[in-house]
């Protein structure tokens, strides 16, 4: 049989309530009692029942990770971060995919209401769904938005796309590049504009012109990267010496085109991407890119929900990205 709190109480010679206090780190328990209870609990391998706890305290010790069809690796890293934080506080993470496309936004209410989670982490693109955000507000469920375009009144975690693009461009300039091509992301995606802005800022700061013929459209896909690269590289006498793609897939497209044109990367053409997807390390040469703090965003989001200490945390958290310099830009 499973040991209950009563067993521990009896064995330790205290009341259930005291055991409860010890296990929840509540104040007002003598140190000696505390130690004794902890000992007994360990010896009996006692572990409290989530359900009973939840029922009595109307907390579930569950945090929901709500996502749509974002990329597996993105979600995976958010997960990992969230779990890390949750473990520390005895919480668990449950998964609740909601597909806007399949019109599941309406079900969100039932799904989220039923389980009664203590908090919800909303990942993009759901972090910008008014409907879901409304539901959460109406159900009065604490939530944190991951990388929303528009934080609104909810707490959120994000990174500074603009600054990342700026720094990456600065790095390229530092490597001696003055003529840099830039491949835009999908026009519907907010990050596209932010990354472009960062790129342009760095150029301007260093007195380099912003040339329209060096900024070409893309849509985050490998194929669009190929097309953009062809546009940027087709004229041998008028080529940028570096190409900064708004994400890794497109950068991979650039590398592939360079290969077919017999342009050595990075000697004749430096290439960098954005996001640090798994692809960046598989590619050859390995891709210089910007690592989003995905793991950290997951962790931070969970912490905000789980850590009751800070009663009034700042609403918006901007986390540090990292420039990952690899072989595709590094001259030996």
Partner DNA sequence: GTGAGAATTGACAGCGCTGTCAGCCTTGCG
Partner DNA sequence: CGCAAGGCTGACAGCGCTGTCAATTCTCAC
Nearest CA to 278 among 266, 289, 270? 289
Quick one: what does residue 5 bind among DNA, its own copies, none, with the CB cut-off 5 to 8 Å set by partner type?
A: DNA
Q: Which of residues 43-72 bind DNA (CB under 7 A)?
A: 46, 48-49, 52-53, 55-58
Cβ proximity to DNA: between 17 and 211 the closer is 17
Class of residue 25 by CB neighbours under 10 A (exposed 0-12, middle 13-18, buried 19+): exposed
CA-to-CA distance for 9 and 208, rounded, in angstroms? 73
| Segment interacting with DNA, rule: CB under 7 A, options 28-36, 117-125, 197-205, 300-308 | 28-36
What residues between 77 and 96 interact with its own copies by CB under 8 A? 77, 79-80, 83, 92-96
x/- track of binding to its own copies for residues 24-63 (CB under 8 A): ---------------------x-xxxxxxxxx----x-x-
Task: Tell me whether residue 14 or residue 257 sits nearer to its own copies (CB atom).
Answer: 257
Q: Looking at 10, 16, 230, 231, which residue binds DNA (CB under 7 A)?
A: 16
How many other C-beta atoms can be found within 10 angstroms of the C-beta atom of residue 209? 10
Near its own copies by CB under 8 A, which window of 12-20, 203-211, 276-284, 321-329? 276-284
The distance of closest approach from Cβ of residue 107 to DNA in the complex, given in angstroms and rounded to an integer, is 18
Angle, vertex CA 280, rays to CA 236 and CA 283, nearest 5: 60
> How far is the C-alpha of 325 from the C-alpha of 119, rounded, in Å?
37
* 12 contact partners, CB below 8 Å, separation of at least 6: 19, 33, 36, 37, 39, 40, 41
Interface residues with DNA (CB under 7 A) are 2, 4-6, 13-21, 23-24, 27-33, 46, 48-49, 52-53, 55-58
């Amino acid at each position: 049989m499973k040991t209950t709190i009563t067993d521990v109480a009896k064995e330790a010679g205290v009341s259930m309530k005291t055991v409860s206090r010890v296990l929840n780190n509540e104040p007002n328990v003598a140190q000696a009692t505390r130690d004794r209870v902890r000992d007994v609990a360990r010896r009996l391998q006692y572990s409290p029942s989530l359900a009973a706890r939840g029922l009595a305290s109307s907390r579930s010790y569950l945090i929901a990770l709500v996502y749509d069809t974002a990329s597996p690796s993105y979600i995976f890293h958010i997960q990992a971060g969230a779990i890390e934080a949750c473990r520390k506080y005895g919480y668990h993470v449950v998964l609740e995919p909601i597909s806007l496309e399949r019109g599941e936004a309406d079900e969100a209410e039932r799904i989220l209401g039923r389980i009664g989670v203590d908090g919800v982490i909303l990942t993009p693109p759901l972090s910008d769904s008014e409907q879901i955000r409304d539901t959460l507000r109406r159900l009065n469920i604490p939530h944190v938005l991951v990388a929303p375009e528009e934080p609104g009144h909810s707490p959120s975690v994000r990174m500074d796309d603009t600054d990342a693009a700026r720094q990456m461009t600065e790095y390229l300039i530092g490597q001696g590049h003055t003529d840099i091509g830039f491949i835009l992301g999908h026009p519907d995606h907010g990050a596209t504009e932010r990354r472009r802005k960062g790129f342009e800022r760095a150029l301007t700061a260093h007195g380099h012109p912003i040339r329209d013929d060096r900024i070409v459209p893309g849509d985050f896909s490998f194929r669009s990267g190929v097309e953009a690269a062809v546009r940027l590289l087709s004229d041998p006498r008028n080529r940028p010496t570096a190409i900064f793609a708004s994400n890794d897939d497109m950068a991979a497209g650039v590398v592939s085109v360079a290969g077919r044109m017999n342009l050595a990367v990075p000697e004749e053409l430096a290439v960098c991407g954005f996001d640090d997807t798994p692809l960046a390390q598989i590619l050859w040469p390995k891709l210089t890119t910007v690592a989003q703090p995905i793991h950290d965003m997951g962790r931070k989001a969970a912490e905000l929900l789980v850590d009751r200490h800070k009663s009034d945390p700042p609403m918006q958290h901007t986390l540090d990205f990292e420039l990952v310099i690899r072989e595709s830009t590094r001259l030996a």
